[in-house]
Amino acid sequence: MLTELQKGLSLNTQKILKFAEGLSQEEVLFRPYDAVNNFLWNLGHITTVRNTLIKILNPTAKLEVYENERELFGKDSVLQPNEAYPALAFILEHFVKRGEQINALIATASDEYLQQESIIKIGPNPRTNEDLLWFFYNHETEHLGEMKILKNLANRLRNA
């Protein structure tokens, strides 16, 4: 069983909830320059990616997708005007719920299933289901770092 992955995903959730504390909608949409995604986009993106982890663990799962989720936060999405984005609390709710769902699925995944080649193809080489879970966990953690920087910038600008 992947208890370390479960702990890591839970820790990411706790950190993101902490980073989001006290941020206004204006602050979560702040971009220090045009080539940077905002805090809310990063959160929405990793929330969308959490559905991919659910699909890896349960290929027959009917995924919960909210209105315009893929267009706003999916792979290759482009930033939209700020008005197009949902409230921070709405995205956080989905992020937390999907994290709980993933951890429950991990608890029931067999070692045999985890070592099978995944039906989801990323990159040129085949990967096991377990390999992909770790790949997407790393992806989430990279975005978490970006969100920490954006949180720090928001705090600095607020106190400037």
Tally of domains within the chain = 1
Which residue range(s) make up the domain with 94?
A: 3-158
Backbone angles phi, psi at 62, to 5 degrees: -90, 110
Q: Where are the alpha helices (DSSP H) in the chain?
A: 3-20, 25-28, 39-57, 69-73, 88-108, 111-114, 129-158
Arithmetic mean of pLDDT over the chain: 94
pLDDT value of residue 157? 83
pLDDT tens digits along 1-42? 689 999 999 999 999 999 999 999 999 999 998 889 999 999
Matching residue, tokens 């989720």? 69
Q: Is residue 88 within 8 Å of residue 40, measured between CB atoms?
A: yes
76 band by pLDDT with thresholds 50, 70 and 90: confident
What CATH number did the domain enclosing 7 receive? Answer: 1.20.120.450
pLDDT tens digits along 89-109? 999 999 999 999 999 999 999
d(CA 53, CA 51): 5
Give the Å distances, CA to CA, from 136 to 101, 113, 133.
15, 17, 5
